[in-house]
Structure 1
Amino acid sequence: MSVDTVAVETVNQAFYTAIEEADLDKMTDIWAVDSEHMRVNCVHPGWPMLTGRAEVLRSWALIMANTPYIQFVLTDVNVTVFGDVAVLTCAENILTAGEAGDDSFAAGKVVASNTFVRTPEGWRLWMYHGSPVLPGNDDDEDEEEPA
């Protein structure tokens, strides 16, 4: 595994840890800074595309403020580095608290593409795109054997 691959995986894990810990300061450090030639983008599952660092960070602040508990178990992690850009794809297996006042939990699965850019400060998240996996659409469970 290359040094860049390890660095990208480390920043990616910090991203999910920041969500789990509702740490907006960590989240702010993880995202790239907008420039004349590059603006960050984020697509939360079921949301329209958010563009620009301020809008993206505001969305994470809202999610963190309204999520009493969340845990991610990442599977199928794959990293590809192209010079100063890296793409990490993964499956987010998510456990969240149930309805307010309820002791239950809810589980879900999202497939994510996290694109990172190399900056003088290290690898930073440039784009996040999460798409929900609907129940019954998991290829691992529904794959049929060839005849």
Structure 2
Amino acid sequence: MQEHAEILFANEAFYFAFQLKDMEAMEALWAQRVPVACTHPGWPSLSGRDQVMQSWAAILNNPDNQGVAMRGAKARRYGETAFVTCYEMIGESLLAATNVFVLEDGGWKLVHHHAGPCNMPPADLPEEEESRLQ
């Protein structure tokens, strides 16, 4: 469905900005007019655009940042809200992630990202859907 393609495209753009360490692109992907939040693995939950953007600046500017590969993305839409569940590979660590989007100015913008450890990968996670952006 076209609506899911647009949501998945926004999700891919998020991981592309993450991989390229592109703070300008990361800032453009997050909603401006509604509250945002983020929970990075091992971090406390962050609320508000300033805290969330500061966290991404710290992550993207970290020289030890290993990059991220995303795969297994599935989108679900509910009116002007959508979420994507997927898996992230950071080094040898597998994380389960949820990204929540809202329609803002005609495009899908992030309002929440949450990723945490996943000790048991799903058996049906297709390797060919891996999206390693370099």
TM-score using structure 1 length: 0.77
Q: How many aligned residue pairs are there?
A: 124
What is the aligned partner in structure 1 of residue 22 from structure 2? Answer: 23
Letter of the 1:64 partner, please give it: L
What is the aligned partner in structure 1 of residue 59 from structure 2? Answer: 63
Greater C-alpha radius of gyration: 1
Q: 1:118 aligns with which of 99, 103, 107?
A: 103
Q: Structure 2: which 5+ runs fail to align?
A: 125-134
Q: What stretches of structure 1 move > 6 A for 4+ residues in a row?
A: none
Q: Structure 1: which 5+ runs fail to align?
A: 96-106, 142-147
Contact 1:20 1:69 in 2 (8 A): no
Shift of 1:46: 1.2
The alignment's C-alpha RMSD in Å is 1.8
Q: 1:52 aligns with which of 38, 48, 52?
A: 48
Task: State the percentage of identical aligned residues.
Answer: 33
TM-score using structure 2 length: 0.84
Provide the rounded CA distance (Å) in 2 between the counterparts of 1:52 and 1:122.
20
Shift of 1:6: 1.1
Provide the rounded CA distance (Å) in 1 between the counterparts of 2:122 and 2:84.
20
Shift of 1:139: 4.6
Q: 1:89 aligns with which of 75, 81, 85?
A: 85
